[in-house]
Amino acid sequence: MNMNFILRGLGRYAPERVLSNADLEKIVDTSDEWITTRTGIQRRHVVADGENASDMAAEAARMALANADMDVSELTHIVCATFTPDSVIPSCACRIQEKLGIKGQMCIDVSAACSGFLYALQTARGYLLLEPDAKVLVVSTEVISRRINWEDRTTCVLFGDASGAAIMTAGEESDRPRVLDVMLEADGTLGDLLTVNGGGSAYAYKKDEPVGNEFFVQMEGREIFKHAVRNMVGISERLLERNGLAKSEVDVLLPHQANYRIIDAVGRKFDIPEEKVFSNIHEYGNTSAASVPLALSEAWDTGFIKPGNLVLIPTFGGGFTWGAGLIRF
């Protein structure tokens, strides 16, 4: 592939309302000590009443467009990764288009849970190969707070709401980050270990029937933990090998933010010192598909990622889906 895939701009958005671990102590039988030591999470952001996934995505998109020095009218495609769209129909991408005040672009949602951003990025690369003049908005957005059983301490402490966005083009600009490669895999036989079944056609509700537990995120945390570390490490090794790169050439490791212990375990397997591993999980919790672009945008803006850095991005999520991406900033 001779084409350069340029990240023209990055953006992010998190709702204003914050729930601390101390706030959760008042809701379920948990403690700041348990949450902090088991996950690294201290706070999470939660949408306001009436605020939806597409509203947050539009905010992140506007920031990415400003960052890319582009007008919204230049967009040709909107690819949205989410498992918490505003509605089943229309797609979240169509809702985002409406909120951005534009028409005509191709709009599509991608469903790959916490690996969603890399899956969407790879989809965008496919469109750019077909249409080299395309300007693709790749946006991840999640309102997980509305798909959580707030009485279940094993899940409600882990997640948060947020959006992250990137503008992708093909071109020559050398001063912008370039997506070098993306590798994606999945194993549907393990799907039942992490589910949000309600709303799917296999779990049809009858009119006026209350929703059950299947409406909310349900997961086997300990099992997922093992698969997450193994697959994030494995696919990252294969991606580096495919690109003729050594582990020592990675400047920044920026993994999906599900649990600081997972992030730390992946960093150790790669012999990457802690100061080269980016994490903002303490502030946002697990924001699923939004976690990677949220982290990328923050790490770039704060100078954690420096020009020229090679950034390795391993992800893992429901499905199971996992992936790894390489970006040269």
Tokens for 57, please give them: 């995505």
**Per-residue contact string for residues 9-48; x = within reach of ligand UT7 by CB under 6 A:** ---------------------x---xx--xx---------
Of the candidates 234, 207, 249, the one whose C-alpha atom is nearest the C-alpha of residue 316 is 234
Pick the binder of ligand UT7 from 9, 11, 116, 317 (CB under 6 A): 317
**Per-residue contact string for residues 280-299; x = within reach of ligand UT7 by CB under 6 A:** ------x-------------
Quote the strand ranges of the chain, DSSP E. 5-13, 18-20, 43-45, 77-81, 106-110, 136-142, 162-170, 178-186, 194-195, 218-219, 252-253, 310-317, 321-328
Burial class (CB in 10 A: 0-12, 13-18, 19+), 177: buried
Nearer to ligand UT7, 34 or 203 (CB): 34
Minimum CB separation of residue 190 from ligand UT7 in Å reads 12
- Whether residue 94 lies in the annotated active site: no
> Does 258 help bind ligand UT7 (rule: CB under 6 A)?
yes
**Distance (Å, whole) CA 134 – CA 12:** 22
> Is residue 72 within 8 Å of 96, Cβ to Cβ?
no
* Among 256, 259, 280, 309, the one annotated catalytic: 256
Minimum CB separation of residue 313 from ligand UT7 in Å reads 14
- Whether residue 282 lies in the annotated active site: no
> Is residue 139 within 8 Å of 281, Cβ to Cβ?
no
> Does 325 help bind ligand UT7 (rule: CB under 6 A)?
no
Minimum CB separation of residue 163 from ligand UT7 in Å reads 16
> Does 198 help bind ligand UT7 (rule: CB under 6 A)?
no
- Whether residue 80 lies in the annotated active site: no
> Does 105 help bind ligand UT7 (rule: CB under 6 A)?
no
> Does 221 help bind ligand UT7 (rule: CB under 6 A)?
yes
> Does 228 help bind ligand UT7 (rule: CB under 6 A)?
yes
Q: Which residue has the tokens 């597409």?
A: 54
Q: SS3 helix, strand, coil % of the chain, rounded to 5?
A: 40, 25, 35
Minimum CB separation of residue 67 from ligand UT7 in Å reads 26
Point out the residues that are catalytic: 114, 256, 286
Which residues of this protein are in contact with ligand UT7, per CB under 6 A? 30, 34-35, 38-39, 114, 153-154, 157, 194, 221-222, 224-225, 228, 258-259, 262, 286, 316-317
